Chain A
Amino acid sequence: MHVKESAGTVSMTQVQNAGSPHLEVRNLKTYFYTEDGVVRAVDGLSYGLAKGETLGLVGESGCGKSVSALSVMRLIASPGKIVEGEILLDGLDLLQCSEPEMREVRGNRISMIFQEPMTSLNPVFTIGNQIMEAIRVHQDVSRKEARDRTIAMIRRVKISAAETRVDEYPHQMSGGMRQRVMIAMALACNPEVLIADEPTTALDVTIQAQIMELLAELQSDFQMSILLITHNLGLVAEVSDQVAVMYASKVVEHTSTAELFASPLHPYTHGLLTSVPTLGMPREQKLNVIPGQVPNPLHFPTGCRFHPRCPVAEQRCKQEEPLLREVKPGHWAACHFIENGKSPMKGADR
């Protein structure tokens, strides 16, 4: 595949070593036209997700993770708008689809689960009714059959007593249960891609582990790809095959999970990883802090968006925006100073 230098992006097809990506996002730009100005929530985002793999999309709050997920589903509401880019699902450009075509894709080929299981279910219908709806939106099946499949699906997400639980209302269930129901709804039509937008943030740690385990199990059963959006680095380390790190509406680093945690190359990724406490670190050692604040998406810094906070920034960084380039085989990063696959940060190799 070719490299689109002019657009400042790299075709992420190359990122994947194993097969061509199932879902590919190229140079996606989603802007919100607010009264204060244009908020560039996603600004030239590119990533690829291979079939059956899990891609972790990590970044701080407000860096555009969720907006990028909603853009893939084409659920950006006014004043937001997808300005530019391509979203290829098995070669089909979703941005060229009409709204009815898009409805066929949503829930059927790409599904999404959300952060808040407490509010993601309609409070006035039973959970069985809602899972049945998910099936009947896309498939022409009888009520009886839909109900049987619903009960099977509830069993699949490991909720006990599926036959009675199917007639319960969301308010009768715990947060973890509701997230399971959400997963059942999302997977009811056997989607190829599942977008999980912080699926465990609202749950406590033990439930978190159970849900992730369930997702991993269902992933291999259903042969689906998962785009996992999170700010939890531990979670990413555990479950994803590839990681894309986002900063200020762009991907700054993209590589396999093992590689990223072993040798982060971008100064931002490095700062992020060293700011997480690890077990067994000396008690008197202070945690690393990334100085400054996340830039306001209304006014991004010129040049490299990380330069005001970067310890190794130079004059060049203020003027020239670094491209996301392959700095090592299978390792992409956007920084001027990565040479021969070495991080500009001292002691970056861990």
Chain B
Amino acid sequence: MILLAITNKNIVGRKMSKEELAKELSDAIISCKKDNVIAAVEKARDAGMEPTEIIEKGLAAGMNEVGVLFERGKLFLPHVMMAADAMTQGVALLEKDMEPGESAKKPAVIVNGTVEGDVHDIGKSIVSTMLQSAGFEVHDIGRDMPTKAFIDKIKEVNANVVGLSALMTTTMQGQKEVIEALKEEGLRDEIKVMLGGAPVTQAWADKIGADLYAENATEAVRGVKEILNV
């Protein structure tokens, strides 16, 4: 487990560069400790760093690194959530300094669930958690969910993306059924469809007309950002 401690050293007689401050912010996020993040944000703000720079070059960069460490089995789900929570607190500190509309806005609404007949939960939950920690508004509707439950939730929350998980070759068909239902409901052009699950492949995603296939939670975050251009 890697839990980096934030460096509190004073660099006497020299003003820290923006790069150094950004690194300190990033390291604070990787430490997964709220106090470290708050201290680093206050320090960067007092040093004159712009709120958007603090978020993008420091905090968000740290979250990206957390994603990498998670993918490599060096950080685990609770740490990802602690880092995300710490980032939320850090961003909240900056909101009063930001112009209206500049503050962090959830970039997309995502409905995520495991298709009907499939009771596997953990992989889908990890994807939901990682998407949430990346700043998306995620509605995890659970496992073994009928097609209608996906459609109803998509309509209710006006989702931009739907994630369909299937861990068994026998339940992959459920992903196709949701896509067909989206077409029947006239929703297909308004929503991006992401597929995941061990037996799922890019070829299957292409075959049934999905927009995105993600091999793991980190790729899901990366893929959704790319496809939505956020």
Partners in one complex: no
- Chain B interface residues toward A at CB < 8 A: none
- Chain A interface residues toward B at CB < 8 A: none
